[in-house]
Chain A
Amino acid sequence: MRRRDVLKLAGTSGIGMGAAVAFAGCGTPEREFHIQSPVDIPEDTVTGLDAWYASICQDSGDGSGVIVRVKSGRARKIEGNPDYPLNRGKTSARTQAALQTLYNPDRIPNPMVPRRKRDSSRYRFMRWDEVLPEFQEKLSAASNGGIVMITEPVNGHLGMILERFTQNIGARWLTYEPLEKAAVRQASSLVFGTTRVPQFDIANTSYLLSIGGDFLEGGDSPVHYGRAYGNFRQGAGRSRGTFAHFDTHLTMTAANADEWHPINPGTEGILALSIAHAILDGRAVPAALQPLTGGEGNLEAYAAEQVADATGVPAEVIQRVAHDFAAAPTAVAMGGGSAAGHTNGLFNMTAIFALNLLKNNVRQKGGVLLNAPSPLEDIPAEAPVTSFQDWETFLNEVDNGQVPQVLLVHGANPVFGLPGVLNAASVLGRIPYIVSFSNVLDETTALADLILPDHHFLESWGTSVPPLGAEYATLGIQQPVVRPYHQEFDGAAGTRAFADVLLGLAQTLGGPLTEALPWESMRDAIRASVDELQARGEGSVTSDDPEVFWLSVLQRGGWWVPAESVSPAAPDLSSLQVAEPDFSSDAQAYPYHLVVTPSVLLGDGSGSLAASPWLQSTSDPMTTGVWGTWIALSPKTMEALGIQENDIVRLTSVAGSMLAPVYPYPGIGEGVVSVPLGQGHEQLGRYAENRGDNPLRILAPVVQEQTGALAWSATRVRIAATGRRTRLPRIEGITAPVQMPDEKTFQITNES
């Protein structure tokens, strides 16, 4: 008897159950035990050496440039691409952990259909040629406006293909972004005259003022800003920069600041105007900023003493920060985070960004740099984002009987992310034919009538126009670095690239669709664009030979050219309304502000990051919590409510309630509750399922007035003990501190 037979026997016999349980966890798929003799002796290549391939990481959220070490056909390690303008060799935990989304044991290996409609517990594997004809038929029948496509906001070639596909087949294209950044984008447009969010040149500034801008853990690219931040503090040939930060609670960004001041939620714009008032110091408000005065003509109402109570920031702090900001040789003001998620998010962001106009630092080193447009005209740098208001309208329409015939979903998980009161699952469930292209079973995919699993990004072609890296106009190229893990092999159907499926449909459906999308595969589409770049004869790679150019571009991970100076429109704040924040409900019944915070590891919970054990078990940088959700409360609040650490409490908003253990956090105001995002999945495989709770579900559906975005910071909650306790897994505070014999102990006290 061989050991393989033993394992097989153990799996099937009752006697072997114990052994099956003992060994199932260590199981490697049978085909992983194969090693191939190639037919021919490879000439010119030494086999058995590491190969590093350049590509783009889609798990990082910003499209970081990466190089991947591949040996024996397996991706073994991911590092940053040292050449790539966005991240210059740096990576994040998410990028490092992308190997685990590639080799995730819960990936969907083949096309599949549920055995019973809307039942996500049992599926039947199918072959591609069995499912594609019916799918095409349904699309053709619905092509007169009965198709809805839902994706994540996506740029680059996939963005272009989606735009042309939906336009020519007559489909409605909705994109889903859980924590909408509409306020940041619109404020950029008003203040800086460009719709792309600018790059705040932290690396070269001497004074950084951030109001809610959580750039080290959230925002456009924590990796880019993390690198810039290193330069800001310790860069060669410059003195250490100073960093003042205002936020509702002590985020990781706040913990890195020289001074952090808690601020009352929603008053970030008022604080910014107060700082502006102090900077102006009696001088007249410049004409461009007049709309911020709300018709008063001056900012006297925002004098530091006047707003100290409302904002919770002492008047002398406001005056000192304003003085430091004005006096520094270079200074930059940035905002974002929860400040942009209030009903008055646009006002907050505009007021904060306008401080840069007072400093006159736009397009200056150490100030605000404007990002270059996409290097190719037909390849979008920005994805269109469907606002929350439009999502609400769409769901209402479906609810009221205007049901589309076909729903296509890729990369977005609205059932998980939309506020629970919208009942997205049951409303979308009315659509008779739902097709998901996800390669993991997420909450939205669980509704699908047909699942056509996409390749992982390390197995497929794509491009990315990075959100930052203003010095260059960049096209990053994502190439397959390994063969698909689930490929057509031994009768298995395997996965297929989403873009290739769309392009295949465009070829067979004919008409204007074929004309708009003439390529047979994503690789061909990218090759055509790269040939266009080659003809320019400039940039990071040049060659007279198209083939050499193509290979060199793949080797470098993309192509970039120094950006031409972007000339923005003049600031135009005339449409801005000065606004106070509005909250979901009255302060009596719901006394606490809920601040949901994107996790630096798991993001906002969309995508399949929670299915990575590495990310799950990496400590949250501030609380050291792992594998769960917690509710951070100030010790004073806990005392007032009679709640202990690790007590499970219920947060209730007007929209619903959630449960999680309490984590005592001194870095948070008394009236504020903070909950990390990323957990609470009902699906998503063995590592993510039924772990923690999802605060997005209990957000009140409050809309930002001027942008139509979800005001995701505007929810108030009440807290109630459940009488139950649990132990939140974390690293900090689980053993008593130990006095090392040869180390002196310093105790920090309030006494001077």
Chain B
Amino acid sequence: MTAGAMRITIGALVVVFGLVIMGAVAWLTLSAEGPEQPIEFMHSVHVEQNDIDCQFCHRNVETGAEATIPAVEQCMICHKVINGENPKVTNPLHVAEIAKLQAHWENREPIDWVRVHVMPDHVRFVHAAHIKAGFDCATCHGDVGSMERVKQVRSLNMGDCVGCHRENNAPTDCTICHR
């Protein structure tokens, strides 16, 4: 192999390796399926089939920085009656998962959900400001209502935030988010 051909081969290998890495990064960050959760909670059942508003459970999204994960007690408001003993609940998967929830409530054990959306500590993201500006939850989170398992649909990295702020004439000072 001539030196020139070798250089081209090495160059090609580097490019291929780079593409593989980039593909892997894209796949890892925006994978097809969200993480497994301790309870197979289905947004699709709650939102799509039963038409419950996001804020019925994520109740601080209009007032606080975080949308907040509902307390077990909040789930039990409905699931006291919507459980395996209710003749309308027939899907065995649903019965089994509601039983897990009831066990948490009876044992007074918090549920350790696996986080899907994580903002770094140096970012101060406030849900309330975005909801008040009229954005729909789906703008950032995608159509969670139709998801069986929640997954991240946007990169939500700094470029993503700044791009959206620019499009909507929102401030892009560093200290808007980093303070």
Contacts and interface: CB of A to CB of B under 8 A. Distances in A.
B103 to A, nearest CB: 12
Given A33-B114, A47-B68, A48-B67, A39 B124 contact: no
Nearest to A6: B28
15 contacts: A2-B36, A3-B35, A4-B35, A33-B35, A33-B114, A37-B71, A37-B75, A37-B104, A38-B110, A41-B74, A48-B65, A48-B68, A72-B66, A76-B121, A103-B121
A723 interface: no
A50 B65 CA distance: 7
A489 to B, nearest CB: 10
Nearest to B29: A3
Contact of B111 (A37, A40, A41): A37
Contacts of A6: 24, 28
B73 A39 contact: yes
B74 A36 contact: no
A732 B151 CA distance: 45
Contact of A47 (B60, B104, B122, B179): B60
A33 B124 contact: no
Given A39-B104, A42-B71, 12 more contacts: A2-B33, A2-B35, A6-B28, A7-B28, A32-B115, A37-B70, A46-B64, A47-B60, A49-B60, A49-B64, A71-B66, A72-B66
Nearest to A72: B66
A77 interface: yes
B112 interface: yes
Contacts of B105: 39
Interface in B49-106: 60, 63-75, 104-105
B118 interface: yes
Contact of B21 (A7, A22, A34, A72): A22
Contacts of A103: 121
Interface in A1-43: 2-4, 6-7, 18-19, 22-23, 28, 32-42
B71 A3 contact: no
B155 interface: no
Interface of B: 17, 21, 24, 27-28, 31, 33, 35-36, 60, 63-75, 104-105, 108-115, 118, 121-122, 124, 127, 179
A187 B137 CA distance: 66
A39 B24 contact: no
Contacts of B63: 46, 49
SS class of chain B's interface: helix, strand, loop or mixed?
A: loop
A118 interface: no
Given A39-B73, A42-B71, A47-B68, A74 B121 contact: yes
Nearest to A99: B121
A731 B54 CA distance: 49
B60 A48 contact: yes
Nearest to B107: A39
A34 B113 contact: yes
Contacts of A47: 60, 64, 66, 68
Contacts of B73: 39-41
A32 B109 CA distance: 19
B112 A36 contact: yes
B66 A48 contact: yes
B118 A28 contact: yes
Nearest to B30: A3
A19 B35 CA distance: 20
Contacts of B69: 35-37
A2 B31 contact: yes
Interface of A: 2-4, 6-7, 18-19, 22-23, 28, 32-42, 46-50, 71-72, 74, 76-77, 99, 103
A248 B177 CA distance: 43
A39 B72 contact: yes
Contacts of B28: 3, 6-7, 23
B132 to A, nearest CB: 15
Contacts of B113: 34-37
B150 to A, nearest CB: 12
Most chain B CB within a 10 A radius of its CB, from A18, A39, A74: A39
A228 to B, nearest CB: 26
B27 A3 contact: yes
Nearest to A103: B121
B71 A40 contact: yes
Given A3-B28, A34-B114, A39-B110, A18 B21 contact: yes
A397 B161 CA distance: 64
B87 to A, nearest CB: 28
A37 B179 CA distance: 27
B104 A49 contact: no
Given A3-B27, A33-B114, A39 B108 contact: yes
B65 A38 contact: no
Contacts of A4: 35
Contacts of B21: 18-19, 22
Most chain A CB within a 10 A radius of its CB, from B17, B65, B71: B71
A382 B83 CA distance: 64
Contact of B65 (A32, A42, A49): A49
A3 B110 CA distance: 25
Most chain B CB within a 10 A radius of its CB, from A7, A42, A46: A46
Given A39-B108, A39-B109, A46-B63, A34 B115 contact: yes
Given A2-B36, A3-B31, A35 B115 contact: yes
A9 to B, nearest CB: 12
Contacts of A48: 60, 64-68, 127
A49 B124 CA distance: 11
Contacts of B67: 48
A186 B10 CA distance: 70
B177 to A, nearest CB: 12
A74 B121 CA distance: 8
Contacts of A19: 21, 24
Contact of A38 (B71, B124, B127): B71
A76 B124 contact: yes
Contact of A37 (B110, B115, B121): B110
Contacts of B122: 76
A211 to B, nearest CB: 40
A748 B157 CA distance: 46
A568 B43 CA distance: 73
Contacts of B68: 47-48
A591 to B, nearest CB: 48
B65 A71 contact: yes
Nearest to B63: A46
B36 A33 contact: no
Given A3-B27, A19-B24, A36 B35 contact: no
Nearest to A31: B112
Contacts of B118: 28, 32-33
Contacts of B108: 39
A38 B70 CA distance: 8
Contacts of A42: 71
Nearest to A71: B65
Nearest to A4: B35
Contact of B112 (A3, A34, A72, A99): A34
A68 to B, nearest CB: 12
A34 B69 CA distance: 11
The 6 closest A-B pairs by CB, nearest first: A48-B66, A48-B64, A48-B68, A37-B111, A48-B60, A41-B71
A46 B109 contact: no
A98 B139 CA distance: 35
A110 to B, nearest CB: 21
Contacts of B66: 47-49, 71-72
Contacts of A50: 65
A38 B75 CA distance: 11
A337 B35 CA distance: 57
Contacts of B72: 37-40
Nearest to A42: B71
A181 to B, nearest CB: 36
Contacts of B64: 46-49
Nearest to B74: A41
Nearest to B17: A18
Nearest to A74: B121
